[in-house]
Amino acid sequence: MSELTLASTKKIIKAINEYTGKALDFDSIMLHVSLQTQATRGEVAQVIEFLQELQVDTKATTVTTLASRIDLDTPLDLANELSYNYQVAKAILNEILEGDAPDKEELRKTLTTIQKFMDSMLKMQEKVYNVQQMQRFQEAVFEVLQNHELKNVIVGKLLELPL
């Protein structure tokens, strides 16, 4: 087998890119590339193998690149995230419904997703409401304690309680 040069490799890659037949029909790809470049079957196979290895490396690089784009310093606002994702799901639902023949399975999945977002938002609102109620109760207790003669004893006991 002769050694591939950069120029012949470029020609083979160009011929592969210009191939318009079935993607997995190896013999047709070989015939097309050989007619375009006069490359041997072994050379074409070697370039295809190289491209496949390169493709795997590119995917790994993409994952690394995505990981580097994650900003852990920006605080997460769950309400905004839920709202944004809910709006995306709702836009997808509208697009599905505007189609001529909506796919029932896709419609079901989208509605299920929207319901999950709504449930999450409702649970978050309930938790926020409960926290607000607890804060109001604490403020009322501390207001009553302001004028009570056992204030320091009661506050000390409350602070000692495990949460």
Number of domains forming the structure of the chain: 2
Question: Is residue 18 in a domain?
Answer: yes
Who contacts 117 (Cβ-Cβ below 8 Å, separation ≥6)?
A: 82, 85, 86, 89
Is residue 63 domain-shared with residue 129, that is, in the same domain? no
Classified as helix, coil or strand, 74 is coil
Question: Is residue 89 in a domain?
Answer: yes
Is residue 44 domain-shared with residue 94, that is, in the same domain? no
Query: Does 59 have pLDDT greater than 60?
Result: no
Question: Is residue 1 in a domain?
Answer: no
Query: Does 30 have pLDDT greater than 80?
Result: yes
* Residues 136, 51: Cα–Cα separation, whole Å: 65
**What percent of the chain has a predicted confidence (pLDDT) above 70?**
85
Who contacts 114 (Cβ-Cβ below 8 Å, separation ≥6)?
A: 86, 89, 90, 93
Question: Measuring CA to CA, which residue among 48, 157, 75 is closest to residue 40?
Answer: 48
Domain range for residue 104?
78-160
pTM for the full predicted model: 0.39
Query: Does 57 have pLDDT greater than 60?
Result: no
Is residue 22 domain-shared with residue 96, that is, in the same domain? no
Structure confidence at residue 142 (pLDDT): 77
* CB of 113 closer than 8 Å to CB of 89: yes
Is residue 140 domain-shared with residue 110, that is, in the same domain? yes
Structure confidence at residue 65 (pLDDT): 66
Is residue 36 domain-shared with residue 99, that is, in the same domain? no
Tokens matching residue 36: 């375009």
**What percent of the chain has a predicted confidence (pLDDT) above 90?**
1
Tokens matching residue 2: 């002769």
* Length in residues, the chain: 163
DSSP state of 71: -
